[in-house]
Structure 1
Amino acid sequence: MQRYGWLSAFLLGSSPVWAMQALDDDGLASVSGRGGISIETAGGGWSAESLEYREDGHSLRIEGVSSRPQQPGSVSTTKIDVIDDRLHVEHQGRPNQLAVNNIGFAGSDKSFGAFRAFYTLGASLKLSGGGAEGVAGFSVDGSRLSLDAVTFYYRDNGFDLIVRNASFDAYLNNAYLDIVSGGNGSAVRLDLGDTRFVAHVGGIGLDLAHGDPGVAVTPGAPDTRHPDHARSFGQLDMDLRLGGSIRIAGGGASGEGVRLIPQITIANSLFQYRDDGVLRAENFAGVLSSQNGITLDLGEDGSGRYAQLAFQDLKLSASLGGLIIGNPSNQKIGSLALDLNFQDQGARQNWFRLRPGGDTNSGLKGITADLSWNMVSSSVSLTDNGNSMWFSGLRTHGSGQLSVDLTRSCAGGISSGCYAGSLNTQPGSGGYDGHFDGLRLGLKNVRGGYSFDGLRVGRADAPLQGGTELLVLLEVFPAYDFTLNGQLTLRPGGASGDGVRYNADFIVSDANAAITVDETGKGLWLAGTRYDMHFRDGSLDVTQNGVQLNKGTYWSTLDVHDVRWGDRAAGQSLGRIVLRRYEQGSTLSLSSGGAGALCVGGSGSNASACSASGGRWEDRGNEGLTAGLKNVFVRDGSGNPASSVSTSEKRNQLIIETDRVNGVNGSGAQLVVDNFHTSDANPTDANANSYGVRVDLNLDVAPTKVCNKGASGCPPVTPDPLGFAVNGRVHFKEINIDRIQNVHPTGGAVTSMYGIKLQNADIRANLTATPIN
């Protein structure tokens, strides 16, 4: 190549004008070296008043865009050279700040919000001509793109979501870029080759102090005006090895737009979330593919303008191997596999429409998403010590609206940016419709349902069997349809350190839940159900002992209009059930590792002792899942009315009603178990109540002994069939019941029993579901 001199280019002021300074003969005389170009870039950056993307008569407008160096006078360097017939580009950017003041639709006062990003861009590219399809296009090999020292701020109504201490690196090998033709017309195709994507997020936090435009935010130094500034949702790490291709074509679902057609593979990858403990998939693999592609369109309907993402078909297959919950040295769950298939079927379609502006009480900024989904013929499988189980025939569909906002409570006093609610209720009431501090997910008229056919054990085409009923204690039903409204508000930081704190209100109505159901839809149903659930000051942590969900203060009302046997709509009604719960400090824990070695049908800590007691010694391996539930029921101190049933929302109460007139609630006879609560039965502290009612579950896929009852003498089936094995224990120290009432629709309530105590129960059971045939 010819020798080139140094070129100095300065980006002046805030305007995107490049000024180049010519070098005289004396300056050129001092230049040494041969080949290539070196460019140094300095200056004050650039800005644009607005940028617009127009499609089908609609304009998505980005306002107040600017890019500036973090330190005045800093310089970025780019070197360009040709080595071995390849173009080499080496770029080392200066620390930069990118800002967008507003994203919305032209002519609308609503906004998706604003963002700022602090980062340093680096690149090492090796390019050559010729794509995967031949001479057209170019290839990328041995290249790297990196974003380092990343801090990202998303601003919504003056509050910030902050991503701190992040880095992103992409390593490109054997990658190609081509323009190709096909059934959807010409497209740009990126063949990923052997691409590796590495990402680290050091923490995600919130600044819920009301926005002050006059206060500058320094990257890496969170705003200290709010106590959440030092708390984090936790750390994320990904190391993904990608292959396959992505095609980008013109034309959306209708008219103009963009269509992405992914055929992406993931292999031998790592995903990890870290708090005090870890959630880790050590061998993550999968496929993301679509035949018709994912479309992006701008549109408008009766609710306003939107940006729509839609897909007629989408397949996600993923295998998460070496799953660990808790301590990195813990036993593993095994591997979890997902085979999810989304497919349009008539009115059941797959799309979501993003609209500017969130909840109506959260200002003009935020995000609202109308969504519709339809998943067919899917499955989830668990492999435990080489034994596999499939939740087969999983289907779900629905539609509704979600909103995302950063919100603030008025608990510290009414101020700009907070919302105290419109019903004059306190945050501790189930009728409270105000906001809490945090990242708020609003749910409005989400109507949907799910079901699965049953379990398959051993192989994917094994006979269907029951066993899903064993998960009802975890409120996982074989089939469920519902309408959901409410909110979930998240704050960074768990019970200690990183993690999540939350407040939530969920109202499930028009619901039907199956306790057990066969392939024809016949079974035992909780039909016509309304379920109100309220959580205050809950937390979620990943500790050395696993995932710990603390429900905080929790109260709920489950009102089942009909317990039906047979069809969920027309089956025989067994009556009505109402269950109210009031709990404080109840928890759910999950950890890797199942039952291990245990004695079935006897007692003993080893095989010989178990056999001597009449039991059978089984070793279910070192993989599996352990779940622990602790429910601490609290006594309602509001009193026990003598001739009526208490209607306090924070109370533990069970009502069974039968013989209703024309199915009208309150017209039949009722049996009421009223104001039950747990106790530690501590003679030195009558108020001690931390033990609660505990349910310990070990979940495994393991072989078990089964005999053939249809044959003489019930001979054992050989080899031992695989099954879904649940080893359970229910234990408590004391349950108190204030009273049991009998209620007649005309005669009123009469207390039949006072002051009942149940003490020191310890019930153990071992159940294994295997195919009947």
Structure 2
Amino acid sequence: MARYPLLLLALLSPLAQAMQALDDQSLSAVSGRDGISLQTTGGAWSASSIDYGQDGQTLSLKGVSSQNQLLGSSSTTTIDVQDGRLHVQHSGAAQMLAIDNIELAGSNKSFGAFRAFYTLGGSLKLSGGGASGVSGFSVDDSQLSLSAATFYYRDNGFDLIVQGLSFDTYLNNAYVDIVSGGSGQEVKLDLGSSRFVASIAGIGLDLAHGDPIPGVPVTPGAPDLRDANAGRSFGQLHMDLNLGGSLSIGSGGASGEGLRIKPNISISNSLFQYQDEGVLRAENFAGSLISNSGITLDLAQDGQGSYAQLAFSDLKFNATLGGLIMGNPSNQKLGSLAVDLNFLDQGARQNWVKLRPGGDSNSGLKGISADASWNMVDSSLALTDNGNSMWFSGLRTHGSGQFTLDITKSCAAGVSAGCYAGSNSDLNSGGYNGHFDGLRLGLNNVVGSYSFDGLRVGSADAPLQGGTELLVLMEIFPAYDFTLNGQITLQPGGFSGDGLRYNADFYISEANAAVTVDENGRGLWLAGSSYEMHYRDGSLDVSNNGVELRKGTYWSKLDVGDLRWGDRHTGTSLGRLVLKRFEQGSTLALSSGGAGALCVGGSGSSSAACVASGGRWEDRGDEGLSVKLKNVFVRDGSGNPANAVSSNDKRNQIILETDRVGGVNGTGSQLVVDNFHTSDANPGNPAANSYGFNVDLNLDVAPTRVCDKSAAGCPVVSPDPLGFAVNARVHFKEMNIDRVQHVHPTGGAVTSMYGVKLQNADIRANLTATPIN
């Protein structure tokens, strides 16, 4: 048998002597195939810890593993050279990536766990020479894709699930270079003309699991069931972005080691869409994101423990949402909405976020906490309606506070793994301090302020004008200082279909809100205010009727220490004002399309009928915004205490107090409008209360007729100046007031009126605000 190996060597020896390196052309002539093809199977790997250290701090990924989803599946990678470019083609097998814990060294808390199921693919065409044509490399006609992806973020055993995620990145005329930056060498990616297409089929929550309660044994063989609502979704997202500009990454954070990222990214002619039963869509999305000094990433430590900090001393973001649609795509459009936001460090007012492991103190050891500080200057918001533009000019805001993010579970159905009831377990009480089911955003001592100068119509440098007072109906104040605490907890699935449901409690203190204010800060102020708001079983949907916010069961108390005229701190006090509200079934709906054609100063559904009635026919175009507010005020059935003012939280009540002694509440004279409520005025069903108190607003930017009162005869200004046009209607079937009380600090409360009814009101108004000068 020994002769066979010898014979084989003898036969191969001439070939061995002739072996030499072959280039692609020679290899093609021999085999008919260029390049190298690699096929891999298995590919599983794991690591007990992957650590990133920086300035003595360590970010650790614990229990990291990756493997193919299907046993025996394989990935294929082909590498070859064509037309002077290196071609890399990759077709990946379905993978699973798991991270058991994301930690910062020295903390017993974590950011949570992560699992991902996905398939990667790509086609890259690379050539030497970066943007300079000398160093680096260029990328053309290339694509990177992720498909069939599902991501799980696990917090204390509960899951946030992102389903049906896919994206495709198309790179053309892109370059990668190493360049000199302000802090040293940087890797710069020039995006050229690139495209990013992404979609998410749904985002949901699974609250069926939960980490075991310490000391409570786990039942062996217990079924691993998903939450019955896990299939509901927050909605679907789709975006198709055309990208340009560049992104640079260098070393060195805000201090010491770290990373510095400098975005100079532009977006043009792009699409963004959120879909529920209706759509929220921008058909022409454009904008830019620029930071000259860069966004820094650092690991650091303070008295509260370790944290990862993102900071930027300057950041400019602007975006235009063109062809904006709210609701049915076949309906009228809103027009375009533009934002121009400028963040800038100014002394103690800075821009940073410190991310810490662990969320709310009552939500276990996992979750996310964020200490945040922000300062935005000289920004604006603009609305363009049929080519006419309006600016909310001089937007400014600054503040700081702590935010927490957790997936939480209520104990309402009984104590179970991971739930938290709090010391007040009544979910329908304003003092409830437990948790609700869902994704919880906690707000802790968020101290902030915002303001804007006013409206400008026609151009960004047009004269300032009034009109912002009309937004107070939606509780949008032209200036507001506040301290905010509370929480909002979101669940997937709206009133119907996709969307979201929410429960929330907000506590605002040390607040000053402007009802109307001039550029010098003088006006009518709600000074020294506190405001608490409670929402139960609310929802937010996008339907064919637009964006619909349902408040569910809602009660609130606004207590204004001083209703001041003039300066917010030193202006003349008109007294104390208290407004309590108790509502069920109230809604706010926003939809695209404004007033359209209408009759001003007369009546009639046509131009001829309008003019004949003494009015003027105005066509305000097919773009704009329509707002419908419906407040259903509910009667408090707890009774009306004799010779006293009811202190029940869930009650509709207005209190005006004057002549207080030393400014102390309760020491002055009070006028009380008590237990007011709406009704459908149905004799067959006296309890019916669904029509509510309605305010319908059509908002447009449109020209209107104005006369010059300073001239004899008040001649009409030509051409018609642009203005902020509001077409309004207030209507209700019945408003009831149980009683009107007068209260003296020594004599007590006396009912002066009892059983007031206002019926069948339908008030219409049309107002266009234009600059005085």
Q: What's the CA shift string for 1:476-526, capped at 9, x where partnerless?
A: 111111000000000000011110000000011100000111111110000
The alignment's C-alpha RMSD in Å is 1.4
Amino acid at match of 2:415: I
Residue 552 of structure 1 corresponds to which residue in structure 2?
Answer: 552
| CA positional deviation for 1:467 | 1.1
Residue identity opposite 1:275 in structure 2 = D
Q: 1:112-150: CA deviations, max 9, x gaps?
A: 001100000001010000000231110100000000000
Deviations along 1:596-634, one digit per CA (max 9) or x if unpaired, are 001111110011111111111100000000000000000
Residue of structure 2 equivalent to 1:603: 603
Deviation for aligned residue 1:165? 0.9
Give the distance between the partners of 1:224 and 1:170, measured in 2 at CA: 37
Residues 522 and 565 of structure 2 are in contact (CA less than 8 Å); yes or no, is this contact kept in structure 1? yes
Measured in 2, the distance between the counterparts of 1:683 and 1:610 equals 37
For 2:23, the equivalent position in structure 1 comes to none
SS at match of 2:666: coil
Q: Secondary structure at the match of 1:134?
A: coil
Q: Give the SS at the match of 1:109.
A: coil
The separation in 1 between residues aligned to 2:132 and 2:58, in whole angstroms, is 36
CA distance in 2, matches of 1:237, 1:67: 28
What letter is aligned with 1:472? V
Write the mapping of 1:245-394 to structure 2, written as runs, cut at 5 A: 245-394=246-395
For residues 225 and 566 of structure 1, do their structure 2 counterparts lie closer, same or farther at Cα, with a shift above 3 Å needed?
Answer: same
**CA positional deviation for 1:184:** 2.5
| Aligned residue in 2 for 1:664 | 664
- Aligned CA distance change for structure 1 residues 348 and 212 (closer, same or farther; 3 Å): closer
Task: Give the Cα–Cα distance (whole angstroms) in 2 for the partners of residues 594 and 385 of structure 1.
Answer: 10
Partner amino acid, structure 2, of 1:120: T
Which letter maps to 1:94?
A
Distance 1:705 1:282 in 2: 33
**Where does residue 674 of structure 1 map in the other structure?**
674
Paired residues for 1:135-146 under 5 Å:
135-146=134-145
Give the whole-Å Cα distance in 1 for the aligned partners of 2:735 and 2:425.
32
Is the CA contact (8 Å cut-off) linking 1:279 and 1:324 kept in structure 2?
Answer: yes
Counterpart for residue 21 of structure 2: none
**Following the alignment from structure 1 to structure 2, what is the Cα–Cα distance between the partners of residues 318 and 245?**
17
Counterpart Cα distance in 1 of 2:105 and 2:299: 12
Amino acid at match of 2:653: Q
Aligned to 2:50: 51
Q: Is the 8 A contact 2:442 2:487 kept in 1?
A: yes
SS where residue 184 of structure 2 aligns? coil
Determine helix, strand or coil for the equivalent of 2:473. helix
What code does the residue aligned with 2:91 have? Q
Superposed, which structure 2 residues align to 1:51-90 within 5 Å?
Answer: 51-90=50-89
Please report how far the alpha carbon of residue 385 of structure 1 lies from its aligned counterpart in structure 2 after TM superposition.
0.2
Measured after TM superposition, the shift of residue 263 of structure 1 is 0.5
Q: Cα distance, 1:47 vs. partner?
A: 0.4
Residue 196 of structure 1 is matched in structure 2 by 195
Structure 1 match to 2:623: 623
Distance 1:163 1:415 in 2: 25
SS at match of 2:472: helix
The alpha carbon displacement at 1:226 in A equals 1.1
Is 2:522–2:566's contact at 8 Å kept on the other side of the alignment?
Answer: yes
Q: Distance in 2 between matches of 1:290 and 1:530?
A: 37
After TM superposition, the structure 1 = structure 2 runs for residues 620-769 of structure 1, keeping only pairs within 5 Å, are 620-769=620-769
Q: Answer whether contact 2:158 2:206 (CA < 8 A) is retained.
A: yes
Q: Distance in 2 between matches of 1:346 and 1:601?
A: 53
Percent identical? 75
* Residues 227-268 of structure 1, C-alpha deviations (whole Å, 9 max, x = no match): 211100000001011000001010000110000011000000
Give, in whole Å, the separation in 1 of the partners of 2:607 and 2:459.
30
Q: Is the 8 A contact 1:502 1:536 kept in 2?
A: yes
Question: Match of 2:246, as an amino acid?
Answer: S
Matches of 1:484 and 1:33, distance apart in 2: 71
Which residue of 2 is the match for residue 183 of structure 1? 182
Deviates more, 1:604-613 or 1:401-410: 604-613
Match of 1:515 in 2: 515
**1:302 Cα deviation (Å)?**
1.4
SS across alignment from 2:129? strand
Residues in 1 aligned to 2:49 and 2:145: alpha-carbon distance in whole angstroms: 27
Partners of 1:484 and 1:547 in 2: how far apart? 26
Instruction: Give the whole-Å Cα distance in 2 for the aligned partners of 1:44 and 1:454.
Output: 61
Name the structure 2 match of 1:20.
none
CA deviations over 1:399-418 (Å, ceiling 9, x no partner): 00100000000011011200
Letter in 2 for 1:172: L
User: How far apart are residue 304 of structure 1 and its match?
Assistant: 1.1
**CA distance in 1: counterparts of 2:572 and 2:43, whole angstroms:** 77
> 1:472 is paired with a residue of what secondary structure?
helix
Shift, 1:33, TM fit? 3.4
CA–CA separation in structure 2 for the residues paired with 1:425 and 1:54: 44
User: Is the contact made by 1:180 and 1:188 (CA closer than 8 Å) also made in structure 2?
Assistant: yes
1:38 aligns with 2:37: yes
**Counterpart residue identity of residue 188, structure 1:** V
**2:662 match: secondary structure:** coil
Q: Which residue of 1 aligns with 2:434?
A: 434
Inter-partner Cα distance in structure 2 for 1:210 and 1:740: 53
Tell me if the contact between 2:390 and 2:456 (Cα under 8 Å) persists in the aligned partners: yes
* Secondary structure of 1:688 counterpart: coil
Deviation at 1:212, TM superposition (A): 7.2
- TM-score of the superposed pair, with normalisation by structure 1: 0.94
Q: Tell me if structure 2 keeps the 8 A contact 1:340–1:378.
A: yes
Asked if residue 227 in structure 1 is aligned to residue 210 in structure 2, the reply is: no
The letter of the residue matching 2:444 is K
Give the secondary-structure state (helix, strand or coil) at the position aligned to 2:663: coil
Return the alpha-carbon distance in structure 1 between the equivalents of residues 591 and 400 of structure 2: 33
Q: Give the C-alpha shift of residue 464 in structure 1.
A: 1.1
Cα distance in 2 for partners of 1:325, 1:290 equals: 32
User: Are 1:420 and 2:421 an aligned pair?
Assistant: yes
2:177 maps to a residue whose letter is D
| Structure 1 stretch displaced more, 178-187 or 249-258 | 178-187
Equivalent in the alignment of 1:443: 443
Contact 1:44/1:72 (<8 A) preserved: no
1:175-231 CA deviation, whole Å, 9 max, x = no partner?
A: 00000013222100000011100001000000011247999xxxxxxx852121110
Q: Is the 8 A contact 1:354 1:367 kept in 2?
A: yes
Q: For residue 237 of structure 1, what is the aligned residue in structure 2?
A: 238
Report matched runs for 1:496-507 at 5 Å: 496-507=496-507
Residue 15 of structure 1 aligns with which residue?
none
Count of residues paired in the alignment = 737
How far apart, in 2, do the equivalents of 1:535 and 1:192 lie?
A: 45
Please name the residue that 1:4 is paired with: none
Report deviation, 1:761.
0.5
- One-letter amino acid of the structure 1 residue matched with residue 248 of structure 2: R
SS, match of residue 598 in structure 1: strand
1:577 corresponding residue in structure 2: 577
Runs of 4+ off more than 4 Å: 212-215
Q: Match for 1:301: what amino acid?
A: D
Q: Which residue of 1 aligns with 2:462?
A: 462
Letter in 1 for 2:281: R
- Amino acid in structure 2 at the alignment position of 1:132: A
Is the Cα contact below 8 Å between 2:393 and 2:455 reproduced in 1? yes
Aligned amino acid, residue 501 of structure 1: R
Residues 112 and 357, structure 1, Cα contact 8 Å, conserved in 2: yes
Q: Give the match's secondary structure for 1:473.
A: helix
Establish whether residue 411 from structure 1 lines up as the match of residue 416 from structure 2: no
